Amino acid sequence: MRDKKYRVVHYLNQFFGQIGGEEKANIPPLIKEGAVGPGIPLQQALGEEGEIVATVVCGDNYFAEDIEAVAAKVVETVSSYKPDVFVAGPAFNAGRYGIACGAACSAVSKKLGIPVVTAMYKENPALELYLKDAYIIPTGSSVRGMKEAILKMADFVRKLGLGQEIGLPQEEGYFPRSIRVNQFVERTGAERAVDMLLSKLKGEPFQTECPMPTFERIPPSPAVKDLHSATIALVTSGGIVPLGNPDRIEAASASKFAEYNIAGIDDLTPDAYQTCHGGYDPTYANEEPDRVLPLDAMRALEKDGTIGKLYDFYYVTVGNATSVANSQKFGKAIAEKLKAAGVDGVILTST
């Protein structure tokens, strides 16, 4: 039997936190001791093992107006209670409430490093945004499903509070987040493949081991208006670096990108540049690095006035086994630098 109860902090909106309805959607976060509203049956379900020590209540509109700042405030409030678990909602299909729950969970998880769980309906727009930041439990679409939602949440809070391992989504009943975890199994991949094919051919149900990934779509940027006066920058994922790879960009799974000055350089030559990318035959890039980073062409087009200026720096990483998450990080950082420097357009080359 545990010596002390695990501590839980619960997040609710103004309505479930019993402050008021829409007219109170603008209230800033406040704290109430113990369990409130749906927190009461939640506490009942947790029994003697866990205690909801406090409930944070915030207006849905207040949160929506400055998500990052309000989430930070929530974290600050929560941390003084030293919780072991943070739970938010259930938000059902309420969009703003769902976002508040998701954002609060995300911030608490990142800042305090404690497990976080919330619950909402599968169509709640917040689901996609916070899917990977918290365990999210499916609920019905309306408050009619409150009882069931609370019981499922209690089960989860209990497991997290007791430090138990959370199994697969299909076993535990949370929305799958596609977080890939390696595991050794009984049979080889070849054996599993033949089994899967035979099931598929017979029209019998089978389970794919790797659902197809989806990628974010971003709206196209506006066209460059006046090329003759524009500053264009070069960026590459093809690993073209100064000879010796001074910043040690990895041949695969790059953990970084680098910036190199090309002011006054008309041409990349093999005595000064090389590729450090381990995923393609390097012979051709090492012979003539412009084949991957077309500096010579860009310089010629700058000299003849086709473009206003070739930006003095180029950016490079290695796109070999490099994760999408890291790539996004690099892309964002590079874009910020280019924007700050007043660059108008970018040519990105890949191998």
Q: Based on the shown chain and the rule CB under 8 A, indicate whether residue 204 belongs to the binding site for other proteins.
A: no
Binding residue for other proteins, selected from 1, 3, 281, 340, defined by CB under 8 A: 281
Beta carbon nearer to other proteins, 164 or 214:
214
Burial 23-60 (b: 16+ CB within 10 A, else e): ebbebebeebeebbbbbebbbebbeeebbbbbbbbbbb
What are phi and psi for residue 336, nearest 5 degrees?
Answer: -60, -45
> CB–CB of 75/108 below 8 Å?
yes
Mask of contacts with other proteins, 51-70, x by CB under 8 A? Answer: --------------------
For other proteins, the binding residue among 205, 263, 271, 283 (CB under 8 A) is 283
User: Which residues inside 238-277 make contact with other proteins, applying CB under 8 A?
Assistant: 238, 248, 250-253, 255
> Which of the residues 294 through 313 are near other proteins (CB under 8 A)?
294, 296-298, 300-301, 306-307
Between residues 43 and 320, which has the closer beta carbon with respect to other proteins?
320
Nearer to other proteins, 31 or 131 (CB): 131
Q: Binding to other proteins by residue 164, rule CB under 8 A? A: no
Integer Cα distance of 178 and 2 in angstroms:
33
d(Cα 71, Cα 163) in Å, to the nearest integer? Answer: 25
Cβ(323)–Cβ(329) under 8 Å? no
Cβ proximity to other proteins: between 3 and 304 the closer is: 304
Residue 200 in contact with other proteins, rule: CB under 8 A: yes
Residue number with CB closer to other proteins (33 or 195): 195
Exposed e or buried b for every residue in 94-112, given b needs 16+ CB within 10 A? bebbbbbbbbbbbbbbeeb
**Closest by Cα among 319, 328, 314 to 254:** 319
Looking only at Cα atoms, what is the longest distance across the chain?
Answer: 80
Which of 181, 264, 339, 340 is the binder for other proteins (CB under 8 A)? 181
Task: Report, in Å, the least distance between residue 33 CB and other proteins.
Answer: 35
Q: Which stretch binds other proteins (CB under 8 A): 92-100, 138-146, 155-163, 216-224?
A: 216-224
| Near other proteins by CB under 8 A: residue from 3, 113, 204, 217 | 217
DSSP 211: P
What is the C-alpha to C-alpha distance for residues 49 and 161, in angstroms, rounded to an integer? 9
H-type alpha helices, 18-165: 39-46, 60-65, 67-79, 95-112, 126-130, 146-161
Asked whether position 329 contacts other proteins by CB under 8 A, the answer is no
**Per CB under 8 A, 205 contacts other proteins:** no
Candidates 56-64, 117-125, 136-144, 186-194: pick the segment binding other proteins (CB under 8 A): 186-194
